[in-house]
Amino acid sequence: MNNYRPNASDIADKKFGQNFLEDRSIVEKIIEAMPEDDLPIVEIGPGLGDLTQELVRVRSVTAFEVDKRLCGYLEKRFSGAIADGRLRLECGDVLKRWEGGSLLEQPYRLVANLPYYIATTILLKALRDPHCRSTLTMVQKEVAEKFAACEGDRNFSALSVLAGSVGEATVRFLVPPEAFNPPPKVDSAVLEIRKEHSLNDEAFEAFLRVAFKQPRKTLMKNLSSVYPKAVLTSLFEEVGLQQTLRPHQVGTSLYRRIYQALTKESDHGKKSESECGATKPKR
Ligand code: SAM
């Protein structure tokens, strides 16, 4: 690959979730939606660099790209910005990079058109990363709606509770498949999550996986696969929860309360491993 811009549909590699955003008006809308401050930006998956181009005009950017072919192209396209320090390009898998700690050693904002096959994983990592202050990301519409759903919505999920626990999630705008080349098979949305703090309790995440394990069953039924029914019954009574409620009908603060009460019950309040069997929360 030389430094001439490659044709997006010729080089797009499905295994890396490559749907390049070619509609300039959407790129502009993303830039306009960014919070107004000086925090540096992390971009995951700069691709051919069209969003990157606009980001480096306004902020310093660190970009993580897994595809070596694209890294070569980006190094040439952005040689000036790299030389004067506006852009730092890291070639490699961002998920592996996250294993070594925060993506940046200072507060940052994540702005990206994410690879959809790992978008939820990336967003959860960003919610856990103490240096990440907010995310403004293009994701599959259904994923955005799950993060931003309110209590009582049919798609209120463990992701909604996690986002609501750290701050506020909002769907900023919807994006049709034609904005991309090649077009994805799904609708997209730009999702913003503003964080007040970070996720730092893996046990709470595991508790939510149990609570939402079978969304059509009652919350009581899901939780009683792990916690003793008697403890749950008195707890539901104490917090004024009906046993017939399904997981999406209970709000973030009540989930926190139930979790804290069950955690206080500690190990002797939980069923033994053999009783939990296959339904024990997986890490
Ligand atoms: N930002 C570009 C745009 O808006 O046109 C490209 C977005 S494309 C949907 C997703 C990008 O993420 C691709 O460039 C892809 O190679 C990159 N990517 C996929 N998996 C990745 C990973 N594990 N780590 C870093 N980048 C990744």
The pLDDT tens digits of the residues spanning 219-233 come to 999 999 999 999 999
Cα(46) to centroid of ligand 1, in Å?
A: 6
Q: How far apart are CA 167 and CA 254, in angstroms?
A: 16
Mean per-residue pLDDT for 211-226?
97
> Model's pTM, two decimal places?
0.92
Mean per-residue pLDDT for 49-72?
98
What is the pLDDT at residue 4? 84
What band does 251 get if pLDDT is binned at 50, 70 and 90?
very high
Sequence length of the chain is: 283
What is the pLDDT at residue 264? 81
On whether the 202-279 domain is CATH 1.10.1740.10, my answer is no
| Annotated domain spans of the chain | 8-195, 202-279
Ligand 1 atom closest to the CA of 112, numbered from 1: 1
Residue among 127, 200, 132, 137 at smallest CA distance from 170: 137
Alpha helices, DSSP H, located in the chain:
8-11, 24-33, 50-58, 68-77, 79-83, 94-99, 119-128, 141-148, 158-166, 202-211, 219-223, 229-239, 252-269, 273-276
Using CA positions, which residue lies closest to atom 12 of ligand 1? 45
Ligand 1 atom closest to the CA of 96, numbered from 1: 23
Residue pair 163/156 in contact by the 8 Å Cβ criterion: no
What is the pLDDT at residue 265? 65
Cα(34) to centroid of ligand 1, in Å?
A: 19
Q: Which of 23-32, 69-78, 191-200, 272-281 has the lowest mean pLDDT?
A: 272-281
Residue-wise pLDDT tens digits, 103-136: 999 999 999 999 999 999 999 999 999 999 999 9
Using CA positions, which residue lies closest to atom 5 of ligand 1? 20
**Across the strands, what pairs with 167?**
195
What is the pLDDT at residue 86? 98
Ligand 1 atom closest to the CA of 16, numbered from 1: 19
Whose structure tokens read 């799950």?
Answer: 146
Q: Is 219 left (phi over 0), alpha (psi -120 to 50) or beta?
A: alpha
Under CATH, to which class is 8-195 assigned?
Answer: alpha beta
Please give the structure tokens belonging to residue 147. Answer: 């993060």
List residues near ligand 1 (CB under 6 A): 16-21, 44-48, 50-51, 64-67, 70, 93-95, 113, 115, 118
Using CA positions, which residue lies closest to atom 18 of ligand 1? 45
